[in-house]
Copies of this chain bind each other. A is one copy, B any other.
Amino acid sequence: MEVKENTVSIEEDDQDSDGDKDSGRAKWYTDTILQSELADYAPVKGCMVIRPYGYALWEHIQKALDQMIKDTGHQNAYFPLLIPESFINKEKQHVEGFSHEFAVVTHGGGKKLEEPLIVRPTSETIINHMFAKWVHSWRDLPLLINQWANVVRWEMRTRLFLRTLEFLWQEGHTAHATADEAEEEAKKMLEVYRTLAEDWLALPVLTGEKTERERFAGAVRTYCIEALMRDGKALQAGTSHFLGQNFAKAFDIKFQSAEGGLEFAWQTSWGVSTRLVGAIVLGHGDEKGLILPPKIAPIQVVIVPIYKTDEEKAIVLEKCNQIAAELKAVARVHIDNRDNLTPGFKFNHWEQKGVPVRLNIGPKDVANNVVEIARRDTGEKIRGVSQTGLTNEVAGLLIAIQKNIFDKALEYRKQNTSSANDYSEFKKVVAEKGGFVEVYWDGSSEDEGKIKEETKATIRCIPFKQDQPEGKCMYTGKPTSRRAIFAKAY
């Protein structure tokens, strides 16, 4: 395959020399994704192919989140992929934030276009253009829309799932009659994201607000959930923006209020993406491969038949089928009946794929009415588990594993959250330990910039929870009662 400059794959990025990427953990990350068949490199610059196992994982995340989005009153819709350049230029901060990442369609149907079309990097502009058409009265509000879509951002450095030229996501866009309502919406959706991360992905997250430096282009306030990966780096896992009236003014979204006046709407937008798959890999995995939280694992229980003779095979497979049929009431079950592979190979294969529970069943197990259970999260093997009551046993185990994976991640975060009282202490912690570093903070945007340059660490969020006494800013020394969380981040 001839590869031209603009079809450089992520593969080459991953092989670049880069302090972080050359680390064993970076290689482990890439190898784990490729070998567990979550994704593959695509022959297109910065793009990847999400393979069936990775896509099934995404589908389970989607299903959980889609239900929560609908339960909070939102409706799905679909807006065009290609956005006229003039639309994106309407909100000044927005275009400044995104213009260097545009993929531009200049030709269509064999002809040069008069106005270029931008492949959507996010859909505020096209969606708010439509909102202006639909919103007339306070009775049309709130307007609560969500879209599941692909977006393209021309990223220079890419990494499977974490940062790709094209990615899949959902983007919520809402319009409200008052600032308070919009503010409440932005925080409500952040809480939905926290629930998704903690209760489904088993990833504990900090919730808080971004500083101006890290704010979404066009937002008044950006809220976020931040997770800590097992290499001590932070990952922004979802954001929710209070947009104020910025886009409403740019796109003329006005409504007649109940009192009869004409007012601009107040808005939010919020999104999470396939990056969450990367968060699961980096947040839970170990040297053997993936560790998937049961609630979103495509396969929750894999059954490996063990036999030597054809006679044993017949007896064992019959029992495996019977047990699988029973377990299907409580779990997503797969029988690995490939006959050209050894049980040992299969054990490794399913461990690498992070399947939470493995049942090994041999002729003796059949005779004794038992199975062997192997837990992926602890590596524990439990022999001689009775087949009677196995369904309840497995259902309970899946709940216990989900909890254990979360607890381990939370414990890791506790062990890797430090505090620092001054900048020299801060630098030492960032360089030697990594993780979240909690500090008193009263610095400026410029100060943040300097710290990033010197340490690579950025402010991940100003946590909502601020209940400490007054202290001194670790950088400026000024008195403040506000604390911020710093970390090196993906």
Contacts and interface: CB of A to CB of B under 8 A. Distances in A.
Interface of A: 1-2, 4-7, 40, 42-45, 47-52, 54-56, 58-59, 75-84, 86-87, 99-110, 113-117, 119, 126, 129-130, 133-134, 139, 145, 149-150, 152, 154, 156, 165-166, 168, 340
A141 B79 CA distance: 37
B130 A49 contact: yes
A126 B55 contact: no
B106 A102 contact: no
Copies of this chain present in the complex amount to: 2
Given A86-B2, A102-B107, A108-B103, A50 B78 contact: yes
Interface of A is mostly: mixed
Given A80-B47, A139-B340, A133 B101 contact: no
B130 A42 contact: yes
A242 B82 CA distance: 32
A72 to B, nearest CB: 14
Contact of A109 (B50, B100, B150): B100
Contacts of A50: 77-79
Given A44-B82, A47-B82, A6 B117 contact: yes
Contacts of A77: 49-52, 54-55
B106 A106 contact: yes
Contacts of A110: 99-100, 102, 154
Contacts of A5: 114-115
Contact of A156 (B86, B107, B109): B109
Given A81-B152, A150-B150, A7 B47 contact: no
A8 to B, nearest CB: 10
Nearest to A37: B134
A215 B104 CA distance: 32
Given A4-B84, A44-B84, A108 B154 contact: yes
Given A49-B77, A77-B51, A77-B52, A82 B117 contact: no
Contacts of A6: 108, 113-115, 117
21 contacts: A2-B86, A5-B114, A5-B115, A6-B108, A6-B117, A43-B129, A44-B80, A44-B84, A44-B117, A45-B108, A49-B77, A52-B75, A55-B75, A55-B78, A82-B103, A82-B165, A82-B166, A102-B107, A103-B105, A105-B106, A105-B119
